[in-house]
Amino acid sequence: MPPRHLFTLQGLNKWILGLGLAANLLWAFFILSGTFLGLAASSGRLATLLQLGLLLTSFGGPFLIGWLLGALAADGRGPSYGLISTLSAILLAAFVLLPVGIYGVMIVLTLPLGGLNGGMYAERRNIRK
């Protein structure tokens, strides 16, 4: 799929896309809440471990959601579903984490990469069928 077609909404199932937007928004809310609660409970002692966990879950959650959306749609547009559905999580993470600095930028960039990779992996699965 050419890169310019990743953001076109034509031909996408709007219900599946809405499901992905809601799932990614909830995922981002829960991982950010869990990280901040963990930081507050540990008084900053586990900051490095929590940052690593936030980075891994900010890739893994959208990856799984993008894979499920691409497999559910099975219309050859898996990367589009995965990438577009992460926009809600990107907005929430950007609002919360961009004032932090470079670490916030890393998290905001990791979210769409996870969704894109999940959607591409779903397409590989659909091709083999």
Q: What is the DSSP letter of 76?
A: S
The structural domains of the chain, with segments of one domain joined by +, span 10-128
Higher pLDDT, 4 or 19: 19
Alpha helices in 1-129 (DSSP H): 14-42, 47-73, 78-85, 87-97, 102-128
From CA 54, how far away is CA 25, in angstroms rounded?
15
Position 129 scores a pLDDT of: 55
Query: With bands split at pLDDT 50, 70 and 90, how would you rate the model's confidence at 127?
Result: low
Give the global pTM. Answer: 0.89
Segment 62-94, tens digit of pLDDT: 999 999 999 999 888 889 999 999 999 999 999
pLDDT more than 70, % of the chain: 95
pLDDT surpasses 80 at 124: no
How many residues does this entry show for the chain? 129
Q: What is the DSSP letter of 101?
A: -
